[in-house]
Amino acid sequence: MRIERFSLALATPLATARGTIDAREGFLVFVDVDGIRGVGEATPLPGWTESIDECRDALGRARRAVATDGWDAALATLDDGAPAARHGLALALCDARSRAAGVPLYRHLGGEHTERVPVNATVGDGTVEETADEAARAVEQGFSTLKVKVGAREVAEDVARLDAVRNAVGDETELRADANGAWSREEAGMALDTFADLDVAFVEQPLAPDDLAGHATLRGGAVGIALDESFAEHAVETVLTADVADVLVVKPMVLGGPDRAREAALRAREAGLDAVVTTTIDGALARTGAVHVAASLSDPPACGLATADRLAEDLVSDPAPVMDGEVCVPQDPGSAPEPPNREVR
């Protein structure tokens, strides 16, 4: 097992509650399983996962465990508080094992399969006119599902923006909204009442991540409630048991790997919820791994996988580019092509 650090500049700085991010930093994880190479990506995002230093240290522990106790023991060292590190090693192992089996990763993961995954376009927080124009351009590019960022303005302004989008794109386009935990319970109630008239499918994280009780009072209505940031603080099983959401937003990097992300999506479906697979603005290897997770599910909804344009540079040429609002799932054995000119040592 070998790790190698990388840094990918963002096309546009990303503002978060913990400050502005100009680049996505992480580690490539190289493994050799019975003579078959595999590569994974561990790209932590503080606030969602461990820090970059914690990720490096966790991968170091896993590397030492491999030498003495094997791959399962190495993964076990990453169970406590290092989801990005576990993602990197789990993806590398899945990559090697699916290559050995001669199948693409999504078939190795099991279940029913799809070779094309629908994806949503994300519409940023602009003025009414800017939001409507951006939405219309996305539909012209072939997207049939749009996620509109809300919560940075007064509720009335966001209602006006969503109304303009609906008028611009017509009734056939699915609309979602993402509040990133910005609303109070009162504001969320007001927004959901008016969004119902605009046929908004669901709102991601309307309330603060720790307010599970508040989300419980909102779910089950005409506009669904999706939880996203809450998984940085609560386990999937906790959310499902508490009955606080209609949709789970499944991020493999946050949950600790493609295996755990698929398991979370299946658990959500068993509980009668839908699951939308997304990324944390990862590099191409993790992003393609997320595509395989979505493809391993029967009839996946539009997923948040159209994030390559958020990066100014990437690890490899995109193995799963977006075309007409869909991703064609790579059909070669494994997950994605290995980064060039790098050897497992």
Average pLDDT per consecutive 10 residues, the chain (345 residues; last block may be shorter):
96 69 94 95 93 97 94 93 97 97 94 88 94 97 96 95 97 96 96 97 96 96 95 91 95 97 96 95 96 95 95 94 95 84 46
Binding residues for Mg(2+), as ranges, are 178, 204, 228
Q: How far apart are CA 42 and CA 112, in angstroms?
A: 27
What local confidence, expressed as pLDDT, does residue 47 receive? Answer: 85
* Edge-first strand listing for the sheet containing 116-118: 116-118, 326-328, 322-323
List phi, psi (to 5°) of 159: -60, -45
> What amino acid positions are annotated as catalytic residues?
149, 251
* Edge-first strand listing for the sheet containing 36-42: 2-16, 19-33, 36-42
Residue type present at position 107: R
Per DSSP bridges, beta strands 322-323 and 36-42 are: unpaired
Tell me the C-alpha to C-alpha distance, in Å, between residue 156 and each of 39, 53, 160, 162, 190.
47, 42, 6, 10, 9
116-328 belongs to CATH 3.20.20.120: yes
Q: How far apart are CA 314 and CA 39, in angstroms?
A: 15
What local confidence, expressed as pLDDT, does residue 340 receive? Answer: 60
Q: How far apart are CA 123 and CA 201, in angstroms?
A: 15
What local confidence, expressed as pLDDT, does residue 15 receive? Answer: 63
Q: How far apart are CA 258 and CA 87, in angstroms?
A: 7
Q: How far apart are CA 192 and CA 214, in angstroms?
A: 13
What local confidence, expressed as pLDDT, does residue 19 receive? Answer: 63
Tokens of 329: 């799932």
- Distant-in-sequence, close-in-space partners of 328: CB < 8 Å, separation ≥ 6: 115, 116, 320, 321
Domain spans of the chain, in order of start: 2-102, 116-328
Q: What is the separation of C-alpha 172 from the centre of its chain, rounded to a whole number of angstroms?
A: 25
Domain 2-102: which topology?
Answer: Enolase-like; domain 1 (3.30.390)
pTM: 0.94
Query: Mind spelling out the 3-state secondary structure of the chain?
Result: CEEEEEEEEEEEEEEECCEEEEEEEEEEEEEEECCEEEEEEECCCECCECCHHHHHHHHHHHHHHHHHHCHHHHHHCCCCCCHHHHHHHHHHHHHHHHHHHCCEHHHHHCCCCCCEEEECEEECCCCHHHHHHHHHHHHHCCCCEEEEECCCCCHHHHHHHHHHHHHHHCCCCEEEEECCCCCCHHHHHHHHHHHHHCCEEEEECCCCCCCHHHHHHHCCCCCEEEECHHHHCCCHHHHHHHCCCCEEEECHHHHCCHHHHHHHHHHHHHCCCEEEEECCCCCHHHHHHHHHHHHCCCCCCCEECCCHHHECCCCCCCCCCEECCEEECCCCCECCCCCCCCCCC
Within this chain, domains 2-102 and 116-328 share the same CATH topology: no
Q: How far apart are CA 99 and CA 330, in angstroms?
A: 13
What local confidence, expressed as pLDDT, does residue 345 receive? Answer: 38
Binding residues, as ranges, are 178, 204, 228
What local confidence, expressed as pLDDT, does residue 194 receive? Answer: 96
Stated length of the chain: 345
